[in-house]
Amino acid sequence: MGCSPFFCYKSGATRQQISTHTEDLPGDINTIRYTYKELARATENFNPSNKIGEGGFGSVYKGRLRNGKLIAVKVLSVESRQGLKEFLNELMSISNISHGNLVSLYGYCVEGNQRILVYNYLENNSLAQTLLVWPQQYPVQLEK
Ligand SMILES: Nc1ncnc2c1ncn2[C@@H]1O[C@H](COP(=O)(O)OP(=O)(O)OP(=O)(O)O)[C@@H](O)[C@H]1O
């Protein structure tokens, strides 16, 4: 992808402001773009022992960035992949959402045919678990 400018981060990742001159890319992705190498390092080469889940869109690995931050790395499977344009468009929407009840997106990686999303790693992460625990923690008063 021949677009710039890139602002370098210590982790080896870059916060990318894509001011594209390439027709097929969207205007602004205000999130970190990781290199495949950085994510491979963080997950020990996507070691199966670091695999924490499998969703409808691909495998999820636990990883640790150089700065110590724990991450969940979602490697989108080939079957689930959209075109690059759609992927980046979606990324743009997600990266602009920030909410206390949502897992934070740290960034992404697009390299060759790889499409990877990087999230904040959550302990006791399963949504199902959260949904099971949640009603007890926050009982809802139903109106009669
Ligand atoms: N941020 C995260 N932190 C820790 N574990 C995660 C995180 N995101 C996903 N996981 C783990 O990976 C599994 C798969 O997650 P993923 O988001 O790919 O799919 P899903 O939520 O199970 O369903 P769907 O594919 O419909 O989105 C989860 O069930 C969870 O165990």
One digit per residue, the tens of pLDDT, for the chain of length 144 reads 333 332 333 344 555 443 333 334 455 666 889 999 999 999 999 999 999 999 888 899 999 999 999 999 999 988 777 777 778 877 887 887 777 777 888 999 999 889 999 999 998 755 555 565 555 655 656 565
Q: Which ipTM value was assigned to this complex?
A: 0.94
pLDDT attached to residue 128: 58
Tell me how far apart the alpha carbons of residues 62 and 49 are, in angstroms, rounded to a whole number: 9
pLDDT attached to residue 141: 62
pLDDT attached to residue 119: 92
Q: Is the CB of 53 under 6 A from ligand 1?
A: yes
Token couple for 94: 């997600």
pLDDT attached to residue 55: 86
Q: Which residues are annotated as a binding site for ATP?
A: 74
Tell me how far apart the alpha carbons of residues 14 and 3 are, in angstroms, rounded to a whole number: 12
Which protein residue has the closest C-alpha to ligand 1 atom 18? 55
* Partners of 132 in beta bridges: none
pLDDT attached to residue 86: 78
Q: How far is the CA of 57 from the centre of ligand 1 (A)?
A: 9
Q: How far is the CA of 29 from the centre of ligand 1 (A)?
A: 23
Give the DSSP letter string of 88-105: HHHHHHHHT---TTSPPE
The model's pTM is 0.74
Q: Is the CB of 103 under 6 A from ligand 1?
A: yes
Q: Is the CB of 76 under 6 A from ligand 1?
A: no
Q: Is the CB of 102 under 6 A from ligand 1?
A: no
109 with 33: CB under 8 angstroms?
yes
Tell me how far apart the alpha carbons of residues 21 and 49 are, in angstroms, rounded to a whole number: 41
pLDDT attached to residue 28: 61
Amino acid letter, residue 66 = R
pLDDT attached to residue 103: 81
Q: How far is the CA of 125 from the centre of ligand 1 (A)?
A: 8
pLDDT attached to residue 4: 32
